[in-house]
Amino acid sequence: MRKTLRELAQYLEGELVGDESVEIGGLAPIREACEGEITFLDNEKYYPDLARTGASAAIVGRTTEIPPGKSGIRVEAPYYAWARLMEVWFPPEPRRRIGISERSWIGQDVAFGRDVNVWPGASIGDRARIGDRCDIHPGVVIGPDCRIGADSVLYPNVVIYRGCELGERVILHAGVVIGADGFGYILHDGIHVKVPQVGNVVIEDDVEIGANTTVDRAMIGSTRIGRGTKIDNLVMVAHNCQVGQACIIISQAGLSGSTRLGNYVTLAGQVGVVGHLSIGDGAKVGAQSGVTKDVPAGEVVLGSPAIEIHESKRSLVLLKYLPEMRERVLELEERIKALEARLGGSGG
């Protein structure tokens, strides 16, 4: 497919800069783009890449200067505009309809909606209810009494333990495990006695969860992932966590038991959160942080233990000056010794 820059600017309702007749045949990231391709610049941090890019044109912000000789389209939200172009160039393939494979295993009293696909090698337990147009890929195992909302996609080898519930348009990537037993034991007479984990997991509409992430079932009640929350790969959500709506949880983060996240919380990669804490709406936790106490709504924290980010960065800067500070202290000691010597003996 080829489009002129003018056509693209019209489609995006953006401001055209430079040569409107440039023909665009493809999309590429700013560092890899070649002639005939369009790219985008969303973060001004990478502005130097804009001059160097091989792309014929770039989608940029309303106030971004386009380097001489380049063409571009100015829009309010460059990344969002880019995503819209992605959908033009790469329209989603029509959903394949294979029906319920005879080589899947279906338990008793399973209720299927319309146009469900169940691939060979998938297993669905007794009394499960699978909504319209769900895709159940090979190797998926859905336990008895689960409910899966319409238009959900379970990629290969996802496992959902008994009695868990998924909303509509939920996407679970390969290897996700929903509803394994929470990690609960009591040390009694020298033995770790297992505490029954009789709750479940509830995943609301429009949640997407990355490959090999695990969300444990509640000891009692439900572990809950709120509507529109997106979770990356290899994340751990422990039993009885309550994750709010539209949160972003990046790879390898871990939530201990009974932690509560408000709405629009962001946890960066490899963050750990101690159990029974609350992280307020809109709070952000920096990468590798260890959260050991409640975080108020809107606060940004960093470090292990995590503290308010400016305080944390100030400490980090000072850490760098530690060697210098130590030398200064030693030098002061010498100078005081000299002063004391000059003033003589046991004065005071």
Residue 249 CB, shortest distance to its own copies, in Å, is 10
The single residue among 56, 82, 170, 265 that binds its own copies, judged by CB under 8 A, is 82
- Select from 173, 203, 259, 280 the one that contacts its own copies (CB under 8 A): 173
Region 128-157 residues binding its own copies, contact defined as CB under 8 A: 137-139, 141, 155-157
Q: Quick check: 138 and 122 in contact, CB under 8 A?
A: yes
* Closer to its own copies by Cβ: residue 20 or 25: 25
How many Cα atoms are found within 13 Å in the side-chain-facing hemisphere of 197? Answer: 25
Q: How far apart are CA 226 and CA 285, in angstroms?
A: 18
Question: How far apart, in Å, are the Cα atoms of 203 and each of 61, 147, 170?
Answer: 36, 10, 8
> CA angle, corner 236, sides to 133 and 177, nearest 5?
40
> Between 20 and 107, whose beta carbon lies closer to its own copies?
107
174 binds its own copies (CB under 8 A): yes
Q: Tell me how far, at minimum, the Cβ of 159 lies from its own copies, in Å.
A: 4
Residue 239 is among the residues annotated as catalytic for this protein: yes
CA distance 161 to 141: 8
Binding mask 222-261 for its own copies (x = CB under 8 A): ------x-x-xxx-x-x-x-----x-x-xxx-x-x-x---
Is 200 a binding residue for its own copies by CB under 8 A? The answer is no
- With 0-12 / 13-18 / 19 or more C-beta atoms within 10 angstroms meaning exposed / middle / buried, residue 288 is middle
Q: Rule CB under 8 A: say whether 123 interacts with its own copies.
A: yes
The correct pick among 272, 283, 285, 295 for binding its own copies (CB under 8 A) is 272
Owner of token pair 């014929």: 56
Minimum distance of its own copies from residue 26's CB (angstroms) = 9
| Alpha helical stretches, state H, 59-129 | 78-89
- The catalytic residues are 239
